């Protein structure tokens, strides 16, 4: 029994990502076609028919593999639809990696798509199986808002300091997104506008919440030894882990809402595979799941970028700004890039891919060699966690 991982065994050779927007004029079909076309175009000479198998992640914008094959009118190929809460896009990627690594296929594509703006509801919604009606309906902001007071209480952070920390996270991510044409919100937001925004849940204002957007993304994945057949600048998978929570945090006593144990476990496994022992000095940039500002704060500690209880000081000290020690969400994150659920995990990898290839333009993190994509779904106490470390170094 072991989790042997895929360190240095697979590579991303091409990617595509639509702008994340209120795409009033595009359907999920249109978005996924856009992402696939851009992804194919990123590997000149490769024809779509040469891609052996496909994965498509969507939380609720389609059912079955035909979510991908029908809009493309693609015949004769296997397509697997996956769903894993807000980590759905990452899950498509993860399973595609296994398929090439096993040797079953030579070239595969992972895609993710979500079309959220055709519903007129505020926030995210989901359709659940019929139930006994006893589950408390936690909205996402309600559930994640539990992190902020719990963190402040445990580490004796005052209300004003906590507010300043959360504001900095939103401010930073909007500032990064302002430089990104593909981001949903492309302008800087004044700190006062963030801290004074209309309250949604607990201490969280609307400007502490990520953007609800439409979008799609795609990645072409091959075995590491084949990578240079497709591109001169492949990005290698150095470590990858996934942990599905038991939900014990909200089903039994003990959990204190200041950490995501599932993320900690996934990060430890992925770092170990990648040989990362000091994340803060070794990782150049990390795309993390900033669904709400306190989530990003807690993740800084869960991912080993900050000591326990020190994350808020590091945030305020600019450690995670784009020119800081670890650039967190240089593309704007869920906060400003937007969060089309099934596409988000692949969007994170898209930024890692872009940065590691030195193609990020105005927001380029200099000298980036190793990056993290961290994606989670569910709620504090009951979540699923994906973690990948990707890098430029050629496998030995």
Round to whole Å and give the CA distance between 117 and 334. Answer: 16
The reply on whether position 254 binds another protein by CB under 8 A is: yes
Question: Which contacts qualify for 393-396: CB closer than 8 Å, 24 or more apart?
Answer: 393/236, 393/238, 393/369, 394/236, 395/8, 395/9, 395/224, 395/225, 395/236, 396/8
Of 49, 64, 102, 153, the residue at the interface with another protein (CB under 8 A) is 153
The DSSP element (H or E) to which 389 belongs, if any, is strand 382-391
The reply on whether position 260 binds another protein by CB under 8 A is: no
The reply on whether position 123 binds another protein by CB under 8 A is: yes
Using the CB atoms, write b or e for 39-50: b if 16+ within 10 Å: bbebbeebeeee
The DSSP element (H or E) to which 90 belongs, if any, is helix 88-101
The reply on whether position 181 binds another protein by CB under 8 A is: no
The reply on whether position 25 binds another protein by CB under 8 A is: no
Round to whole Å and give the CA distance between 108 and 343. Answer: 17
- Give least dist CB 157 to another protein, A: 15
Round to whole Å and give the CA distance between 191 and 170. Answer: 8
The reply on whether position 80 binds another protein by CB under 8 A is: no
Residue 44 or 130: the one with the smaller Cβ distance to another protein is 130
Residue 24 or 121: the one with the smaller Cβ distance to another protein is 121
The catalytic site residues sit at 86, 339
Residue 50 or 122: the one with the smaller Cβ distance to another protein is 122
Residue 149 or 324: the one with the smaller Cβ distance to another protein is 149
Of 37, 69, 139, 244, the residue at the interface with another protein (CB under 8 A) is 139
> Quick check: 184 and 18 in contact, CB under 8 A?
no
Stretches 54-62, 121-129, 186-194, 308-316: which one binds another protein (CB under 8 A)?
121-129
Residue 78 or 202: the one with the smaller Cβ distance to another protein is 202
The DSSP element (H or E) to which 385 belongs, if any, is strand 382-391
Residue 5 or 377: the one with the smaller Cβ distance to another protein is 377
The reply on whether position 141 binds another protein by CB under 8 A is: yes
Nearest Cα neighbor of 42 from 211, 297, 175, 234 is: 234
Structure tokens at 390: 């990707």
Stretches 30-38, 135-143, 325-333, 350-358: which one binds another protein (CB under 8 A)?
135-143
Number of other residues whose CB lies within 10 A of the CB of residue 202: 17
The reply on whether position 78 binds another protein by CB under 8 A is: no
Round to whole Å and give the CA distance between 122 and 195. Answer: 21
The reply on whether position 187 binds another protein by CB under 8 A is: no
Using CB under 8 A as the binding criterion, the count of chain residues that bind another protein stands at 39
Structure tokens at 196: 């004074």
The reply on whether position 41 binds another protein by CB under 8 A is: no
- Give least dist CB 159 to another protein, A: 14
Residues 357-396 that bind another protein (CB under 8 A): 381
> Quick check: 36 and 108 in contact, CB under 8 A?
no
Whose structure tokens read 């709400």? 292
Contact footprint for another protein (CB under 8 A): 120-123, 125, 128, 130-139, 141-143, 145-146, 149-150, 153, 199-202, 246-248, 250-254, 256-257, 381
């Amino acid at each position: 029994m072991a989790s042997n991982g895929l360190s240095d065994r697979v590579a991303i050779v091409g990617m595509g990502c639509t702008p994340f927007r209120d795409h009033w004029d595009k359907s999920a079909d249109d978005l996924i076609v856009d992402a696939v076309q851009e992804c194919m175009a990123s590997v000149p000479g490769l024809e779509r028919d040469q891609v052996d198998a496909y994965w498509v992640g969507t939380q609720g914008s389609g059912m079955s593999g035909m979510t991908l094959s029908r809009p493309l009118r693609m015949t004769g190929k296997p397509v697997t639809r996956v769903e894993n809460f807000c980590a759905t896009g990452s899950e498509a990627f993860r399973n595609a990696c296994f398929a090439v690594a096993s040797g079953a296929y030579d070239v595969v594509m992972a895609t993710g798509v979500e079309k959220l703006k055709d519903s007129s509801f505020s926030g995210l919604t989901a359709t659940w199986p019929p139930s006994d009606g006893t589950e408390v309906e936690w909205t996402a902001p309600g559930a994640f808002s539990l992190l902020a007071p719990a963190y402040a209480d445990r580490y004796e952070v005052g209300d004003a300091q906590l507010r300043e920390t959360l504001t900095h996270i939103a401010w930073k991510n909007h500032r990064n997104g302002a430089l990104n044409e593909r981001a949903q919100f492309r302008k800087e937001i004044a700190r006062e506008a963030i801290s004074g925004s209309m309250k949604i849940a607990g201490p969280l204002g609307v400007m502490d919440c990520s953007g609800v957007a439409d979008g799609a993304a795609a990645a072409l994945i091959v075995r590491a030894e084949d990578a240079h057949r497709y591109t001169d600048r492949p990005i290698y998978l150095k470590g990858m882990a996934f942990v599905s929570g038991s939900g014990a945090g909200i089903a039994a006593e003990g959990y204190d809402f200041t950490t995501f144990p599932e993320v900690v476990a996934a990060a430890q496994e992925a770092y170990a595979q990648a040989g990362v022992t000091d994340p803060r000095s070794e990782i150049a940039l990390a795309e993390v799941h900033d669904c709400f500002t306190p989530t990003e704060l807690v993740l800084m500690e869960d991912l080993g970028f900050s000591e326990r209880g020190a994350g808020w000081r590091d945030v305020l000290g600019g450690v995670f700004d784009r020119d800081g020690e670890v650039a967190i969400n240089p593309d704007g994150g869920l906060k400003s890039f937007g969060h089309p659920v099934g596409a988000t995990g692949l969007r994170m990898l898209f930024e890692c891919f872009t940065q590691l290839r030195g193609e990020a333009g105005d927001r380029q993190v200099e000298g980036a060699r190793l990056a993290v994509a961290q994606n989670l779904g569910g709620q504090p106490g009951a979540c699923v966690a994906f973690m990948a470390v990707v890098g430029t170094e050629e496998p030995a």
